[in-house]
Amino acid sequence: MISTELAARLRDAGLVWRPADGDRFRIDAADLSAEVFTVSTMTIEAHDYPTGTILGFNGTTEWALDSVAIEDALWLPREDQLRDLLRSTFRGLTRTTPGAGEQGGAERYDVEVELLGEARTFTAADPAEAYGTALLALVELSS
């Protein structure tokens, strides 16, 4: 899962979320900021209205929460969703494992994309974070 910070940067850069089953999100409220919710027709369902999308909490008696506006939720896209959003710019994912004699080396993931005809690589300790950073660059170029 990508970091909350990267998810917020993607949202602020203009990434649009259309909630679907399996999507994870956080709610922008101090007392719920540590909770991760999952959209599911059984518990949390997206309702589209002319005024916007509302995430309805179905049968959640443990929460005093009936619904939340999509603007108050922060989408945490999955690795596969991030890769799909990169579309035709995506060139590959490479995992690098440090050699036996390397000190302080940690496994890393490199995502290669083509932006404006130029190959660019984005590196992170987690593949989803590398995909997210590459997507952020793409979204920023598009706006």
| Cα angle 31, 75, 7; round to 5 | 95
This model's pTM is above 0.85:
no
Are 133 and 85 within 8 A, CB to CB? no
Tens-of-pLDDT digits for all 143 residues of the chain? 899 999 999 999 999 999 999 999 999 888 887 889 888 877 788 888 898 888 888 765 445 567 788 999 999 999 999 999 999 999 999 998 876 556 666 899 999 999 999 999 999 999 999 999 999 999 999 87
Write the DSSP symbol of residue 103: S
| CA-atom Rg of the chain in angstroms | 18
Rounded CA-CA distance 98/83 in Å is: 25
For the chain, the structural domain boundaries read: 18-76, 80-142
- The highest-level CATH class for domain 80-142 is alpha beta
